[in-house]
Every structure is written in structure tokens, then in C-alpha cells.
């Protein structure tokens, strides 16, 4: 501690220890200035202005900070005629003062007593009703059975036989009807009593729950109090401004998109949004908000590499001619087989997520346009919006939102618009009519903007109609991406039944040759030219005796695995031999019709039958 010299009236000099000037700041009463939200945390900045200091040492205590602060991330800066000597972080558990409302507790307890009295009264009434029911039951039993009077019989049952003897038989009918009405009264009253008791018990349960909650508050509890103490040395009396920044957990943001495609104008409007949520314990009210793709490392130390070992791969043993010996040889020589023939567990390498890789790549990212307009997913407003700017570094991109934002500590997602981007997509249609005779529209877009799109869910709209939900992968600037837009019913496809014709050939070894022909009819009813990818297949033989030969289009199995041929009439064909799959590419003018036909032969001995067709 610093010391000062105090002059007394006698002129003697005495040295006394100075007590620092105490300045208390309640963080709950001060606004948050700015927040940078990362994928799993946030950097909060607070600016405390006009704090009065006295010449000499001053101790500024910032109280009521959130519990989830990373103590290693605390930074303090100042402006004014003072020097920061030390910054101390404290986190301690203190006893919280009991909080209770004795008047409210007494009121609730009085209500419980009243409920207990009422329930007891209803229980007594039910006993009386049960007694009356038993009395009438005994009387009815005595009247209808004419039993002899028992020694312990009630006065009513003792006189029942005598009363019956003096009456006509018709009076018995009135007696039974009167008894039935009395039983009905008993049943109704018992049901009412049960309903009242249930309601009172539910009310009592709710009151007890309130009392338990109030009782828990009435006991002393422990509370984690987080404070930052800043020790300053002021050159003179005056005001200073302090800036406090720290990292808190329990905050995150994710990407989501609205993709609107307009087929007539061949345009795409992509609305890039961010969904932010936080439960840090402090509200971010009217703050300057930024979103970052970086993954902050508070410690700042670079990682260390472990030794990277390499070895010579074992040579496989020669394969034997016979299949059985070959299988045995392969089993013995396989380097991945453990003792006893059991396969050794494979080594698994996990790839880093694309977003993380991109965030760490030099130059990964671009500027972003942002807006605080909270848009509904179905909103299609073309209102002019303010755009944000991006700060790009070697490892990340930060998107600064121009408007102030309010994100309460409620762990509820809050949406902000990051950017609205216009693209010129290329449309293609794809159909697999063997499975579904529909044309599926797909838009291919080059991200020619300077915006980096992070992976996230997307709502797809086609001509102002909601189509589907999809997932958009991370897209870097100048990178292409695709977006499926659902079924386009204006492209009509008819998958005709396959036709077949069988001929028998051969003299010594007779075989059947069956030619299968498949026709597909496509109509383009749109008012624009389309590019349609039509995918189909022919069977693949799994037996040497069963031969499958392509007839049309003119692609032989001796050609490369994937080859393009001219099928005529603006049609190109790609054939993948190992899969037996065709992919036709058709250019169709508006309002035109086209028929695609392909055929194949299947040869098989007459004594055999085909399975699978």
C-alpha cells in the first residue's frame, strides 16, 4: 500500500498507511455495450463512464457479474489520468438473505385449515348418507322377504311385516318406487361430496406447493458472487472511463436461411439469418451485436505436435488359382486379420467439420450484410434493408450488425437478419421415372458474392409457395452450391410399360433371346427451355450363363465405364457400366414433347428361367 506524509501542528512528521478510495459499480445497473457471439460462447464488453477517482490509490469494485465468466478472459482498459495497477477476479459463495412474506404464508395456512374443516364435515355427511342408505336397505329387505324379526333389528325393520300384512298388495309397488327415488338421492349426494372433496384436495395441494416454494426462499441459501476489483493510481482527482471485457459460456449462434426462387425471372433471393440464444445470467439490452465464425482459445498457446510414425506396409501373399485356396490365402495374408481369423478393428479417422476448417483457413470468409429486422419465415417483403460489414482476419470472419439488438438471458432463440443476397441460378430438372414419374427441380448457384454461408437449415420457397425444408452446407465465396426445389408438375413424364419379344436361336445349344424395350414420354408445358436429366437403368447379370447386351443407345460394354454418346434430337447419354445406369440429358424447347427409348437383349438357355425381371 502507498503511504503519505501527514504534517501535524507540532511540525513532527508521522507516516500513516493510506486507505484506497472505494468505488463500487453494480453491473446489473449498468448496460452492456457490445457483444460478439461465437458458436459456443460470447465476448461481452462493458464501458463504465464518469467514475470519480481521488488522487492516489483507488479500488474500483465491479459487482454482480454473471457466474459463467471465464476468469482467464477478463481484460480491463481505462481512459483518464490514472494507471491500472492490478486486476483481481473473485468468485465466492455467500449466504443469501432469507426472503419470505409472513402475511401471505399466514393467509395460505388459514385457508388450509378451512379446507381441512370442510373436508371433515363432508366426510361426516357421507357417513350419515351411508347410514340412511343402510337403514332403507334393511327396511326394504325386511319388507320384500318377510324375514322374522331379529333380536338386534331396528324399530323400522321390526314393524315391517306387520305393516305389510295390513296393506294391500298394490301398495308394494308404491313402496318400491319411493325406495328407488330415495336411493337416487343418496347416489347424487355421494357423488357431489366426492367431487367437492377432490376439488378441495387439489386446492390444498396447490397451496402446499406455494408454501414449499416460499419456505425454500425463507431459508438462507448460498449464492455465487462474482466480482472484479481494479486497483488504480490516480494522478489527480477526476473522472475516468473503464472498459471491461470477458468471455461467458452458455451463448451461441447458428445459421438458417430462407431461399426464394422465381422461375420466370430466373432469380434467387437468399436471406441469411442468425439464431442467437443465451442464458448467461445477464440481459443484452440495446447492444452492438456481432457474430463471429472463430473458435476463441482463451489461453492463446499454440498446440503441440506428437511424433508421426510411418512403417512399411506388409506385402500380400500370392493368390492361388483355385477359389477355395485363394480365399484361404487371402484370409491368412490379410494384414487386418487378427489371430484366429477374426478381423482386427479398423482405425477410424474423423474429419474436421467443414465450418471449422473454413473458419481456420486463410482468407476464409467475406463481408456479410446484416440487419436487425426480425423476419418471419414466411415473410416475402422486398423492403430495402441496411447491410452490415464484415471484418475478415486470417482465421475468422466477424459480421457486424448495424442496428442495436436485444437478446435477453432466456435461452430462447432470437433471429436477426445477417444478409440478403441475390443470385442468378441455373435450373435443371431430374427425374427417375422408374421409381417416380415426376420432375424434380434443382437450382445450381455460384456464390459470386463476398459472403461466406455457414451450414444450417433452409426454408425453400418456389414462386412464393413453400416447398420444403432442407440443409445448406457451408459455402465459401466463389463456390457453387445446389438447392433442391421439389417437384415441378409442369414437366409431365409418362413411363410406358416395358415391351418384350423373345426369339429362340441355336442348334446344339438352344437359347432364348428376349429384347426389352422401354419408352419414356416427356412433355415440357413450360414457357421456357429446360434441361432435363433422365435417369434409368438396365439389369446387370450376376451369372455367366445369363448375358445382358445393350442394343440402344449404341453403347457397348467394351467402352469406358462412363461414356457420352449422341442419342439424337438434342439428347446426350451417360452410361455407367458397373451400375447399368443411364443418364439422359435433354434440351427441350417450350411446349415440346419427346420420347426417349432404350432397349436391351437378355440371352439364356431355353432350359433356364430368368429371375429378377
At 569 the pLDDT is 46
pLDDT band of residue 510 (cuts 50, 70, 90) is confident
Which pLDDT value is given to residue 297?
62
Q: Is the pLDDT of residue 232 over 80?
A: yes
Q: How confident is the model at residue 575 (pLDDT cuts 50, 70, 90)?
A: confident
Q: What is the C-alpha separation between 599 and 538, in angstroms, rounded?
A: 8
- Dihedral angle sign, alpha carbons of residues 354, 357, 361, 363: positive
pLDDT of residue 161: 47
Q: How far is CA 586 from CA 428, 434, 544, 596, in A?
A: 10, 17, 35, 9
For the ranges 1-5, 331-335, 440-444, which has the lowest average pLDDT?
A: 1-5
Percentage of the chain beyond pLDDT 70 is: 73
What CA–CA distance (Å, rounded) separates 442 from 480?
Answer: 13
Highest mean pLDDT among 149-158, 391-400, 482-491: 482-491
What pLDDT is attached to residue 407? 96
* Contact in structure between 457 and 472 (CB atoms under 8 Å): yes
Residue 91 grid cell: 468468485
pLDDT value at position 346?
A: 34
Predicted structure pTM score: 0.57
Please list, in sequence order, all residues whose beta carbon lies within 8 angstroms of the beta carbon of residue 197, skipping any fewer than 6 positions away.
119, 122, 123
Question: Do 26 and 63 meet the contact criterion of CB atoms below 8 Å apart?
Answer: yes
Residues forming a β-bridge with 461: 260, 466
Please state, rounded to an integer, the average pLDDT across all residues of the chain: 78
Among 102-111, 329-338, 602-611, whose mean pLDDT is lowest? 329-338
* Alpha-carbon span 450 to 272, nearest angstrom: 13
Under DSSP, the state recorded for 202 is: H
Question: 344-384 pLDDT, tens per residue?
Answer: 333 333 333 333 333 333 333 333 333 322 233 333 333 34
SS3 category, 6: strand
State the residue for C-alpha cell 491500472: 84
pLDDT in tens, 493-505: 999 999 999 988 8
Please provide the size of the chain in residues: 613
SS3 state of residue 147: coil
Amino acid at each position: 500500500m502507498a503511504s503519505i506524509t501527514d504534517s501535524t501542528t507540532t511540525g513532527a512528521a508521522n507516516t500513516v498507511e493510506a486507505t484506497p478510495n472505494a468505488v463500487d459499480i453494480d453491473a446489473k445497473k449498468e448496460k452492456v455495450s457490445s457483444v460478439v457471439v461465437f458458436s459456443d460462447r460470447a465476448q461481452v464488453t462493458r464501458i463504465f463512464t464518469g467514475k470519480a477517482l481521488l488522487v492516489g490509490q483507488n479500488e474500483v469494485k465491479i459487482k454482480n457479474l454473471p457466474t459463467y465468466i471465464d476468469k482467464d478472459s477478463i481484460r480491463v482498459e481505462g481512459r483518464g489520468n490514472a494507471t491500472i495497477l492490478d486486476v483481481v477476479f473473485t468468485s465466492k459463495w455467500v449466504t443469501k438473505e432469507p426472503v419470505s412474506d409472513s402475511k401471505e404464508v399466514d393467509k395460505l395456512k388459514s385457508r388450509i385449515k378451512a379446507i381441512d374443516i370442510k373436508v371433515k364435515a363432508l366426510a361426516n355427511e357421507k357417513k350419515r348418507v351411508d347410514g340412511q342408505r343402510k337403514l332403507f336397505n334393511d327396511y326394504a329387505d325386511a319388507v320384500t322377504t318377510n324375514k322374522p324379526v331379529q333380536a338386534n333389528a331396528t324399530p323400522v325393520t321390526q314393524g315391517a311385516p306387520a305393516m305389510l300384512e295390513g296393506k294391500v298388495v298394490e301398495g308394494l309397488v308404491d313402496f318400491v318406487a319411493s325406495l328407488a327415488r330415495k336411493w337416487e338421492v343418496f347416489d347424487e349426494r355421494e357423488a357431489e361430496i366426492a367431487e367437492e372433496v377432490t376439488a378441495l384436495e387439489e386446492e390444498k395441494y396447490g397451496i402446499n406447493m406455494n408454501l414449499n416454494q416460499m419456505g425454500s426462499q425463507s431459508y438462507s441459501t448460498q449464492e455465487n458472487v462474482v466480482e472484479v476489483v481494479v486497483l488504480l493510481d490516480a494522478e489527480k482527482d477526476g473522472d475516468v472511463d473503464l472498459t471491461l471485457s470477458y468471455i461467458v459460456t452458455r451463448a451461441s449462434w447458428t445459421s438458417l436461411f430462407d431461399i426464394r426462387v422465381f422461375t420466370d425471372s430466373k432469380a434467387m433471393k437468399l436471406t441469411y439469418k442468425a439464431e442467437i440464444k443465451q442464458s448467461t445470467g445477464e440481459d443484452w439490452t440495446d447492444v452492438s451485436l456481432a457474430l463471429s465464425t472463430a473458435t476463441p482459445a482463451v489461453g492463446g498457446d499454440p498446440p503441440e505436435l506428437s511424433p508421426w510414425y510411418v512403417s512399411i506396409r506388409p506385402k500380400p501373399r500370392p493368390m492361388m488359382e483355385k477359389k477355395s485356396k485363394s480365399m484361404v490365402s487371402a484370409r491368412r495374408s490379410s494384414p487386418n486379420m487378427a489371430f484366429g481369423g477374426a478381423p482386427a478393428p479398423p482405425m477410424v479417422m474423423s474429419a474436421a467439420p467443414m465450418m471449422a476448417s473454413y473458419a481456420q483457413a486463410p482468407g476464409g470468409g467475406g463481408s456479410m450484410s446484416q440487419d436487425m429486422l426480425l423476419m418471419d419465415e414466411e415473410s416475402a417483403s422486398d423492403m430495402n434493408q441496411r447491410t452490415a460489414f464484415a471484418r475478415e482476419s486470417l482465421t475468422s470472419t466477424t459480421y457486424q450488425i448495424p442496428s442495436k439488438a436485444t437478446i435477453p438471458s432466456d435461452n430462447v432463440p432470437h433471429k436477426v437478419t445477417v444478409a440478403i443476397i441475390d443470385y442468378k441460378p441455373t435450373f435443371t430438372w431430374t427425374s427417375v421415372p422408374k421409381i417416380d414419374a415426376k420432375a424434380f427441380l434443382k437450382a445450381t448457384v455460384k456464390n459470386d458474392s463476398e459472403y461466406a454461408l455457414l451450414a444450417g437449415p433452409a426454408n425453400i420457397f418456389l414462386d412464393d409457395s413453400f416447398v420444403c425444408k432442407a440443409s445448406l452446407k457451408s459455402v465459401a465465396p466463389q463456390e457453387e452450391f445446389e438447392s433442391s426445389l421439389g417437384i415441378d408438375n409442369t414437366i409431365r413424364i409418362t413411363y410406358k410399360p416395358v415391351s418384350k419379344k423373345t426369339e429362340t436361336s441355336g442348334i446344339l445349344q438352344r437359347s432364348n433371346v428376349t429384347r426389352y424395350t422401354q419408352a419414356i414420354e416427356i412433355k415440357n408445358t413450360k414457357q421456357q427451355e429446360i434441361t432435363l436429366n433422365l435417369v434409368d437403368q438396365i439389369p446387370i447379370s450376376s451369372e455367366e450363363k445369363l448375358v445382358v447386351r445393350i442394343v440402344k443407345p449404341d453403347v457397348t460394354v467394351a467402352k469406358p465405364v462412363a461414356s457420352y454418346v449422341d442419342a439424337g434430337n438434342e439428347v446426350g447419354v451417360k452410361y455407367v457400366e458397373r451400375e447399368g445406369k443411364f443418364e439422359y440429358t435433354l434440351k427441350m424447347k417450350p411446349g415440346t414433347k419427346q420420347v426417349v427409348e432404350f432397349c436391351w437383349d437378355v440371352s439364356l438357355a431355353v432350359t433356364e428361367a430368368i429371375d429378377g425381371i
